[in-house]
Amino acid sequence: AQSVTQLDSQVPVFEEAPVELRCNYSSSVSVYLFWYVQYPNQGLQLLLKYLSGSTLVKGINGFEAEFNKSQTSFHLRKPSVHISDTAEYFCAVSDLSRGSQGNLIFGKGTKLSVKP
């Protein structure tokens, strides 16, 4: 079965520092990959997605992610974070294999805490 592992449950970082949130997935077939952000008491907002093509994907709010097929990873990065980036971030995959349900499979989330 498809699974997604977010290697860090919490990431504290100082404002204006770079950050990387790690995500690995298990799959031997094609997948679509996503990063979502969830602010307190809100739903999920799509940050970026990888469907095909260039392995470097740029999203909203200055975030980008790199798809690495050989390492089955899709790490999220931002060169300089702001206090407003404090939120929980979820990596997700959509399994494209025959017979899959096609629903999103989420990682457990990474809480990013940006300190002044």
The answer to whether residues 78 and 112 touch, using CB atoms and an 8 Å cutoff, is no
Instruction: Give the angle subtended at the CA of 106 by the CAs of 34 and 81, to the nearest 5°.
Output: 55
Burial code (b: 16+ CB inside 10 Å, e: under 16) for 27-43 equals beeebebbbbbeeeeee
| Least Å from the CB of residue 36 to another protein | 8
User: Can you give the binding site for another protein, defined by CB under 8 A?
Assistant: 32, 36, 41-46, 49, 51, 90, 92, 94, 96, 101-109
| Least Å from the CB of residue 99 to another protein | 11
Q: Which has the closest alpha carbon to 36: 115, 114, 105?
A: 105
Nearer to another protein by Cβ, of 19 and 92: the residue is 92
Nearer to another protein by Cβ, of 7 and 104: the residue is 104
Nearer to another protein by Cβ, of 18 and 102: the residue is 102
| Least Å from the CB of residue 62 to another protein | 20
Torsion sign (Cα): 102, 72, 25, 27: positive
Nearer to another protein by Cβ, of 41 and 70: the residue is 41
